Amino acid sequence: MVNQRLQKTILEVVENQLRENNPPETKKTLDRLLKKGYSRDDAMKLIGSVVAAEIYRILKNHEPFNEERYVKALRELS
């Protein structure tokens, strides 16, 4: 079951990253996934899953955002 409000918020984070080009790997990942044949919606949700995983780690482990880990996870999406 998908929490629609949470999904919308996470997708807004992805949209903000794309608009601000921060990190640039988010746009590169979107472009790569689109070239592989994913719809924009599905590609955004895949990127959003990386955002959600990073948020989970931050909250669970009480640690700061780790951009290196985040970018690595984006690069691993296929």
For the chain, give every domain's residue range.
Answer: 4-76
Report DSSP state, residue 66.
-
pLDDT average, residue stretch 33-56: 97
Give pLDDT tens digits for 61-77. 999 999 999 999 999 99
| pLDDT score for 78 | 87
Q: Environment class of residue 9 by beta-carbon count within 10 Å: exposed (0-12), middle (13-18) or buried (19+)?
A: middle
- How large is the average pLDDT for residues 18-37? 98
Backbone torsions φ then ψ of 53, nearest 5 degrees: -65, -40
Which tens digits make up the pLDDT trace of 44-53? 999 999 999 9
pLDDT of 6 over the 80 cut:
yes
pTM (two decimals): 0.93
